[in-house]
Amino acid sequence: MDRPGVLVFSRTADYRHDSIPAATEALARLADADGLHAAATEDPADLSPERLARAAAVVFVSTSGEVLDRRAHDALQAYVRAGGGFLGIHGASASNYGWPWYQALVGAAFTQHPAEQAADVVREDARHPATSALPDRWRWTDEWYDFQASPRAHVRVLLSVDETTYEGGGMGDHPISWCHDFEGGRSFYTALGHSIASWSDPLLLAHVRGALRWVAGR
């Protein structure tokens, strides 16, 4: 890559979202707008030290199940510890359950979701580039992921979902987007982005672009 790269990884070993191609294409456009070159892959071998050394950010978009081998584990861990940026989107929290370090990197692990439906998203932090363009309350349709535990104690929560505005929430305190500094690197996660249509919505694109810029240090 002549320009700094964004490595977009979308391998699935469990449920596969049909929005992955739309998400990958949108991420490529967002990266290009910030002078970054996006390369998409589903091969864990591409998460190599050599490839990651040229990456301004690594994006896991709607991955699922155990998607990495030991070499990719080690390379991703070294990349983050060397100051790399990680962005997890939607199913990224439903991945690599057997690797505690990855769960800590993402911030929380997916457990279940009710039927896709509309709900109110609450902006908790307006100062982050991933939320500065969003309204304080935002009616949005998605799969509302529940997690094993709220990550609030150890991350900077940016968005939450109001469980009184939809059916089937099981967390009470329900963050859905957050970021944190992690072992020398930067990590951002958003649970949004389930549907194909969401990847042409200006507000979601502004959210993801801000997240990508933050993890890439732009």
What are 1-60's pLDDT values in tens digits? 455 699 999 999 999 999 999 999 999 999 999 999 999 999 999 999 999 999 999 999
Q: Is 116 left (phi over 0), alpha (psi -120 to 50) or beta?
A: beta
Using CA atoms, how far apart are residues 148 and 170, in angstroms rounded to an integer? 10
Q: Helix crossing, 202-215 with 20-33: angle to 10°? A: 60
Q: What is the predicted pLDDT for the residue at 218?
A: 82
What is the per-residue pLDDT for 119? 98
Q: How far apart are CA 10 and CA 36, in angstroms?
A: 18
All residues at 6 or more sequence positions from 21 whose CB lies less than 8 Å from its CB, including other chains: none
**Quick one: pLDDT at residue 54?**
92
Cα distances (Å, whole numbers) of residue 168 to 70, 145, 162:
37, 10, 11
Helix (H) or strand (E) holding 208: helix 202-215
- Hey, what amino acid is at 135? P
Distance CA 71, CA 63 (A): 18
| pLDDT at residue number 4 | 66
How far is it, in rounded angstroms, from Cα 194 to Cα 196? Answer: 7
Backbone angles phi, psi at 99, to 5 degrees: -125, 95
Give the span between the Cα atoms of 187 and 16, in whole angstroms: 23
Q: Which CATH number fits domain 5-215: 3.50.50.60, 2.120.10.30, 3.30.360.10, 3.40.50.880?
A: 3.40.50.880
Which regions of the chain are under pLDDT 70? 1-4
pTM, entire model: 0.97
Q: Are strands 37-41 and 5-9 parallel, antiparallel or unpaired?
A: parallel
Question: Are the CB atoms for 151 and 175 separated by under 8 Å?
Answer: yes
